[in-house]
Structure 1
Amino acid sequence: MTAGDLVWRLESAGVRLWHEDGLIRFDGPAGTVTDEVLDELRSHRDAVAALLAERGPEVVRVLPAAMEQQRIWRALRHLAHPEVWLNCFYVDVGTRLHVGALQTAMDKMIARHELLRTAITDRDGQAVLTVLRSAEAPVRTLPGDDLEAECRAFAAELDFARPPLTRLAVVRGTDILVLAAHHIITDGVTMDLFGRELGALYREALDGIPARLPPAEPFSSFADRERVWSQAHRREALAARTAALGDPVKPLVSADDGGVSSSWLPLPADDGPALRAVAQRMRVPVFAVMAAACAIQLRELTGRATSIIGMSADSRSDTEQHTIGLLRRHLPIRVEVRSGDTWRSLVRRCADEVFQALRWPLLSCDDVERSWLGSDAGQHVFPQVLLTHLPGFSLGIDMGAGFVPWDEFVMAGSRCPLTLEITSGADGVRIGMEAAAGLVGRSTIQRLMERYAELLRDCAARLDGDV
């Protein structure tokens, strides 16, 4: 075993190693650094010390990426359009932006959140996180002659080796703020947090209004918790879920065909309360109602009565509510429309599936895919359908002139053949849909969203009626 192998083995087990005052120092979970490990460190002392010294004082810690990050990392090697994992948001904030105050706010965000100071590299096909003490992200100015092309190019400049994987730009002569982010460090909760915190820090820098942000748990704490869970429970959880899910369902279509259609549909003001009322009456999550409507739409779209869909679920613990990073999971659930089903019976069945999936909140669709497909995992798109519910979310920002929601330039390709999303926040309730062009054409997606909204309304109005 080389010194590099030894260091990586320890870091993969959650041990932090560093070189200080001519000594090799370490900190890690109890029982990890045994007498045998200490003997190995002594035998490789000089080589390990040289390796740690070479990293320099800027490196705080090196550790394996979290499981959902590993899923994206593997997918990036096979996709014809890896830019599909880039997000490029823009918004007219309603007031001329002060670049100096914006830079100060961004600098404080980087200092506050560990993952914004983290580089990502590859080791034998595995994503590795290198946490740094600092990182720089100068606010760019875009000319605005062709905003969409400029924003796409701006997002494409994100570099795994040069954090942060989140960058800001302003458009010359306008009130437009641009945010580029890679999905490997972001999720819906993170986008909500980022907008709220950046806006608060900007107003603090510009007007002296204290941001008063709560402490933020580092992302590495989540990765450590996930690793400990995986070692103790993953095998049991995987056996239980694969047995419950049954045989794999034949794919609908390849997502990465270069074409993607997406759109948002605001719901009438009464639809949101009606949706929540059904869930409260049945004592089930709103997601179960969403899944039931999705099951019907999938049957209409594909002719299949059974589908396995991904439920986007937040895996944050109580201490990680203000952590920026990819902490959501796509939990696999099986939805089935049976002869004689009413909305009530279908919603109840979907709720049972949701509760079963939530027993293992750190087991993702990626685990199931790799169990089913073995070494071929990562070359297939699973789940084929992704359903997301973001309650109480305001995916936007307030830079001093009031809250405004983000708009997004959709990148080439599709992460999933069909994605359905419902958000409810300050800007009301909206349905979002993204579909691979191989599944539906651009002219169809609006009709699909309208049909999905009809199904939700029908469920609310005829809970005991046949589906």
Structure 2
Amino acid sequence: MTTAATPAREDGTRFPLSHLQRRLWLLHTLDPTGALQSTARCFQVTGRLDTGALQQALDHLVRRHEPLRTVFPLSATGEPVQLVLPGAALPLARLNCREPGQPLLRGKEFAERPFSGGDGPLARAGILRTGPDQHLLVLAVHLLVADGWSWNVLLRDLAACYAAALTGTAPQLPDLPLQYADWAHWQHGRLTGERRRELRHWWHRELDGAAPGLDLPATDTTAGRSGRTVTRSLDAGTETALRALARREGVSLFAVLAAAFGAMTGRRIGREELLIGTPVAHRDLPETEHLLGFLVGTLPLRVDLTGDPPFTELAHRLAAAARRSFAHKDLPWEELPWWQPPVDGQTLPTLAHHPAGSTGSLTLQGCRVSELDLPSDASRFDLTLRISEHPRQSRVRVEHDTRVVTPVEADDLVTGYLALLDSVALHPATVLSELLPQRPPTPRSPTETP
């Protein structure tokens, strides 16, 4: 990183929020649950778990990573600021299952307790004994302090600290050349007035004439989201063929997956020029590799379906649009042309692609650890399609607010998307009008979380 980002302050200094955090803070203030802007992971741990060593590991994480002891009080002018506390606790809460046979529901309840940005803490850990040498470990963090990539850092460091605590040694972890507040300071300095004007001008031209892929909801849906998820499997043969297609065409697998999503979305709203969104990490610099914090933003991508192109051409168009947008990702979301406070205008259907290993996994020495999905009945955004790669079988998961996208529409979307990927795998050079299903597809058997 440039010398402008060298750490030069002590705990207790108040710092502005990063541009990425400011939008997240707004969403947090509009969320009556206090938990929508957070993420949680649940792990089944089998073996002789040393909870004392686990607590020592959590204590070391808090000392190592400033975001785990950062709160966001309001300044005298009413603006939120970051305040790094000199010390903070992350106690391992002992959970009890109120209803026998329902440990995941207890884990969900624990994970979804409201977070207070001003007072903290913005992370919690809980342990639930489910049998002899068997526990559920639940970790929850607010996005203000840890994004999706941060889970890689958090779980890897937790494993190292736990192993060290078992032997009474110091954990062997890479040095942290800077902390999140240093990065936020650098980000503010990088976005000069001239650069901001250049970015605004570019985004106005890029987004001109393209419709958001979702209609604005009739009412304010930030007051409390009614969420639903549908999860299905991606055929292994189809996935192999799509990877081969991406290699032949010289584009990323993401471009192929996003092109199919853009085609389905355009068909749904009846538009040839539209916008979809995708999460993008602001971790271009090597110093951010081991950094905990919120460094991800939603980036608009223009989808051009004009001329009924072959799918391979659409994939190239999408790849080019992604390259353009990535090069101009530094403009804050609230300065993009369509943003309308206070509802936030999050009307972009979003595609999130999670390559294998991108969100981390947990190992605890002497134990067998497997991850479990916590049930969920809330949706952070209007519509998100997640593709999570797994060694055995990848998953396609649609998360949606039922007041914006109905269950029937969501089911039709995921079924049609999978059908389109199957067709693309077999006939990638076929034009879109022949690839897209002309009638509502027959649903496969979904696994739903109401």
TM-score by length of 1: 0.79
Q: Deviations over 1:30-58 (max 9, x none)?
A: xxxxxxxxxxxxxxxxxxxxxxxxxxxx9
1:229 has 2:190 as partner: yes
Aligned-pair CA distance for 1:234: 2.1
Alignment of 1:367-378 (within 5 A): 367-368=335-336, 371-373=337-339, 376-378=340-342
> Cα RMSD over matched residues?
2.8
Q: Distance in 2 between matches of 1:427 and 1:163?
A: 39
Quote the residue 1:333 is aligned against: 301
Q: Distance in 1 between matches of 2:427 and 2:28?
A: 44
1:389 has 2:389 as partner: no
Quote the residue 2:442 is aligned against: none
Alignment of 1:220-299 (within 5 A): 220-231=181-192, 233-247=195-209, 249=211, 251-254=214-217, 255-256=221-222, 258-299=225-266
Compared CA separation, residues 201 and 385, structure 1 to 2 (3 A): same
Aligned-pair CA distance for 1:417: 1.1
- What's the % identity of the aligned pairs? 25
Quote the residue 1:39 is aligned against: none
Aligned-pair CA distance for 1:444: 5.8
Pick aligned residue for 2:70 from 115, 118, 122: 118
Compared CA separation, residues 439 and 372, structure 1 to 2 (3 A): closer
1:466 has 2:431 as partner: yes
Aligned-pair CA distance for 1:388: 1.6
Is there any run of 5+ residues in structure 1 with no aligned partner, and where? 1-12, 17-26, 29-57
Q: Distance in 1 between matches of 2:230 and 2:172?
A: 35
Aligned-pair CA distance for 1:286: 2.1
Quote the residue 1:133 is aligned against: 86
Q: Distance in 2 between matches of 1:125 and 1:427?
A: 50
Aligned-pair CA distance for 1:107: 0.8
Compared CA separation, residues 104 and 260, structure 1 to 2 (3 A): same
Aligned-pair CA distance for 1:464: 0.9
Compared CA separation, residues 340 and 448, structure 1 to 2 (3 A): closer
Quote the residue 1:363 is aligned against: 331
Aligned-pair CA distance for 1:67: 1.1
**Which amino acid counterpart does residue 243 of structure 1 have in structure 2?**
R
Aligned-pair CA distance for 1:15: 12
1:151 has 2:103 as partner: no
- The SS at the match of 2:388 is strand
- The SS at the match of 1:199 is helix
Quote the residue 1:5 is aligned against: none
Aligned-pair CA distance for 1:454: 2.6
- The SS at the match of 1:172 is strand
1:418 has 2:371 as partner: no
1:301 has 2:268 as partner: yes
Q: Distance in 2 between matches of 1:449 and 1:433?
A: 7
Higher-Rg structure is 1
Quote the residue 2:40 is aligned against: 88
Quote the residue 2:394 is aligned against: 429
**Which amino acid counterpart does residue 236 of structure 1 have in structure 2?**
E
Quote the residue 1:324 is aligned against: 292
1:177 has 2:137 as partner: yes
**Which has the higher relative contact order, 1 or 2, with Cα contacts under 8 A spaced 6 or more apart?**
2
- The SS at the match of 2:344 is coil
The farther-off stretch of 284-293 and 390-399 is 390-399
Contact 2:226–2:402, Cα closer than 8 Å, also in 1: yes
The farther-off stretch of 150-159 and 85-94 is 150-159
Q: Distance in 2 between matches of 1:89 and 1:426?
A: 19
The farther-off stretch of 194-203 and 350-359 is 194-203
The farther-off stretch of 130-139 and 184-193 is 184-193
Aligned-pair CA distance for 1:384: 2.0
Q: Distance in 2 between matches of 1:75 and 1:399?
A: 35
Q: Deviations over 1:101-125 (max 9, x none)?
A: 1111111111111111111122345
Contact 1:394–1:405, Cα closer than 8 Å, also in 2: no
- The SS at the match of 2:144 is helix
TM-score by length of 2: 0.82
Aligned-pair CA distance for 1:350: 0.8
**Which amino acid counterpart does residue 204 of structure 2 have in structure 1?**
T
The farther-off stretch of 356-365 and 397-406 is 397-406
Q: Distance in 2 between matches of 1:122 and 1:247?
A: 39
Quote the residue 1:203 is aligned against: 163
Q: Distance in 2 between matches of 1:406 and 1:241?
A: 40
> Which one has a larger percent helix, Structure 1 or Structure 2?
1
**Which amino acid counterpart does residue 454 of structure 1 have in structure 2?**
A
**Which amino acid counterpart does residue 404 of structure 1 have in structure 2?**
S
Aligned-pair CA distance for 1:445: 4.1
Aligned-pair CA distance for 1:355: 0.6
Compared CA separation, residues 154 and 286, structure 1 to 2 (3 A): closer
Quote the residue 1:215 is aligned against: 175
